[in-house]
Structure 1
Amino acid sequence: MAYEFIKVDREGPVTVITLNRPDVMNALHSPAHFEMDEALNAFAADPDQWVGIITGAGERAFSAGNDLKHQAGGGGMASPKSGFAGLTSRFDLDKPLIAAVNGVAMGGGFEIALACDIIIAAEGAVFALPEPRVGLAALAGGLHRLPRAIGVKRAMGMILTGRRVSAKEGEDLGFVNEVVPAAELMTAARRWAATIGELSPMSIRASKQAVMRGLDEPSLEAAITGQNKYPAIAALFRSEDFKEGPMAFAQKRAPQWKGR
């Protein structure tokens, strides 16, 4: 499918989605949200796509978040049920997503990155939730995901000041997984995707679902005792991969994952 505000490339089992509004630092408006929703729906439904990477076009920005000029000019800001960028309220995506942050990740842009499972940042990347500076609040998940990622006190230090955080500080705080030179960003993101791709996609989906659902359980005991009821874990137990992994190990060969 052809898109106007994003680009989608499939590289073997990896889907690369590029926010493609570099003239406005990849800020998103309503049409872009719905394009992202369609692209992520397609990624989720395609059995041959195992890992996703989200990045931004150009060198300046991953995403500056909400397109405030579009909003101020009377443009509609409708978004799909899946949330900002078709992602921030998407709670049923068990395939892993990597954010390759190539510059500014502000407001909704930071919330997109936080909604991904892994964040790889270029050395010059900058993160912030500056919504209070313009009379708004980070209601697309940032106020909830950031404390879960780095702890309440450190998150409050960012949220209540709207301050900018460098890629290195983001790594120190714990929400960035790796910082690399800008020229190496996509190479690093693809390296992470390839490493994930060496593993059973059924196991990866079961693991992600268990982590995310387990965090919402009232206790560690409830998370452990309840995990076998999760759909992705039940699917793992029924899968060809569940048989292939031990067989390949016993035969001392590389497994041939099917993702089913």
Structure 2
Amino acid sequence: MNYETILYAEDGPVGTITLNRPDDGNMFNATMCHEIRDCIEQIRCETRTRVVVITGAGDKFFCIGGRKDGMEDSTLYAGTLPTLEMYDAIDKLQKPVIASVNGYAVGGGNVLQVVCDITIAKESAVFRQVGPMMGSFDAGYGTWYLEDLVGKKKAKEIWFRNPKISAQEALALGMINQVVPDDQLAAATRAMALEIADRGPFALAAIKGAFHARHGGVAGLARVAHDLLLRSYLTSEESKELSSSFAERRKPDPAKFGK
């Protein structure tokens, strides 16, 4: 898969998406948002990859937000940066996603790591929400999911006061999962990804679907039912016998339903 603003590479069961605009803080633009979404949709449709890692190019920036490069000067959808499509794709992917934060995670970049299932960061990483300082905000993923991690009062403080948060502070708050020395980030990320990849993919998908259903409403519940429960049900002896009896126009044999 070739992209303009991201890099994608597979190494065994681990797929790595690298935000590749280091000269601009690895900031989102419309192209990057769509490319991340499209890459994740490709990953959804294959069985090679068991765990996905998202990181930034270089050693200074994970991602420091977004730019509306080349977009229409409009308050309508054509002028809106499509970050929600990207966050939504990560949230719905049936495979665990690890944010490997290699530098500043600011604004939409911090929301990105919050949306990921697990975050590992190097010691010098910095986290910050700056929306209100710039007349902007994230009233969806950036608030709800942050509240889940750090609690309502602290989430409000982070959004109202916009403090810089060190990696160790983020760890203490529960915003991230692990902090490692700067020179060990890549190795520690891969070790974590391989550990998770050894778990049952169906079980991991079920767990992630259950977490997503809490926020996803009918779409989240449908995802659990469609992707997980029905997949199991349709391979059961009961389903096989009922399908066969229907096709053969006979009464089903309850003895073949299994236990």
TM-score, normalisation: structure 2: 0.79
Deviation at 1:107, TM superposition (A): 0.6
**Letter aligned with residue 86 of structure 2:** L
Q: Deviations over 1:211-247 (max 9, x none)?
A: 2324668xxxxx9xx998463244356679xxxxxxx
Are the structure 2 counterparts of residues 227 and 7 from structure 1 closer, same or farther at C-alpha, using a change threshold of 3 Å?
Answer: closer
Instruction: Measure how far apart 1:144 and its partner are.
Output: 1.5
Match of 1:99 in 2: 99
How far does residue 58 in structure 1 lie from its aligned partner after superposition? Answer: 0.5
Residue of structure 2 in register with 1:254 after alignment: none
Where does residue 54 of structure 1 map in the other structure?
A: 54
Using the alignment, how far apart are the partners of 2:157 and 2:113 within structure 1? 19
Superimposed CA distance per residue, residues 4-51 of structure 1 (whole angstroms, 9 cap, x where no aligned partner): 210000111111000000000101111111111111111111122111
* 1:124 aligned counterpart, secondary structure: coil
Gaps of 5+ in 2: 237-259
1:196 deviates by 0.6
1:157 is matched with 157
- CA distances 1:35-77 after superposition (whole Å, capped 9, x unpaired): 1111111111112211100000001100011127x48996975
Is residue 3 from structure 1 mapped to residue 3 from structure 2 by the alignment?
yes
8 Å contact kept, 2:71–2:79? no
Letter in 2 for 1:232: L
Stretch deviating more after TM superposition (42-51 or 55-64): 42-51
SS in 1 for 2:111: helix
- Aligned-partner Cα distance in 1 for 2:129–2:108: 8
Corresponding residue number in structure 1 for 2:184: 184
Cα distance in 2, alignment partners of residues 164 and 170 from structure 1: 10
1:129 and 1:138 in contact (8 A); partners too: no
Q: Look up the equivalent residue of 1:135 and give its one-letter code.
A: G
CA deviation profile, 1:165-207 (whole Å, cap 9, x unmatched):
1110100000110000111111111111111111111111111
Q: SS at 2:161's partner residue?
A: coil
Task: Write 1 or 2 for the structure with the bigger share of helix.
Answer: 2
SS of the residue corresponding to residue 87 of structure 2 reads coil
Amino acid corresponding to residue 66 of structure 1 in structure 2: G
Q: d(CA) in 1 for partners of 2:111 and 2:20?
A: 17
Larger Rg belongs to: 2
Distance 1:161 1:199, change over 3 A: same
Counterpart AA for 1:193: A
Please state whether the residue corresponding to 1:160 is helix, strand or coil. helix
2:19/2:55 contact within 8 Å kept = yes
Letter in structure 1 aligned against 2:35 = E
TM-score, length-scaled by structure 1: 0.79
Gaps of 5+ in 1: 218-222, 241-260
Change (3 A) 1:229 1:31: closer
Over 6 Å off, 4+ runs = 71-76, 237-240
One-letter identity of the residue aligned with 2:184: E
Number of aligned residues: 229
2:120 aligns with 120
Structural mapping, 1:9-24, within 5 Å: 9-24=9-24
Structure 2: how far apart are the matches of 1:37 and 1:227? 17
Aligned equivalents of 1:227, 1:62: Cα separation in 2: 30
Once residues 215 and 71 of structure 2 are traced to their aligned partners in structure 1, the CA distance between those partners, rounded to angstroms, is 38
Tell me whether 1:232 sits opposite 2:228 in the alignment: yes
CA distance in 2: counterparts of 1:25 and 1:216, whole angstroms: 31
| 2:194 paired residue number | 194
Alpha-carbon shift at residue 106 of structure 1 (Å)? 0.4
**Cα distance, 1:127 vs structure 2:** 0.8
C-alpha distance in 1 between matches for 2:145 and 2:64? 18
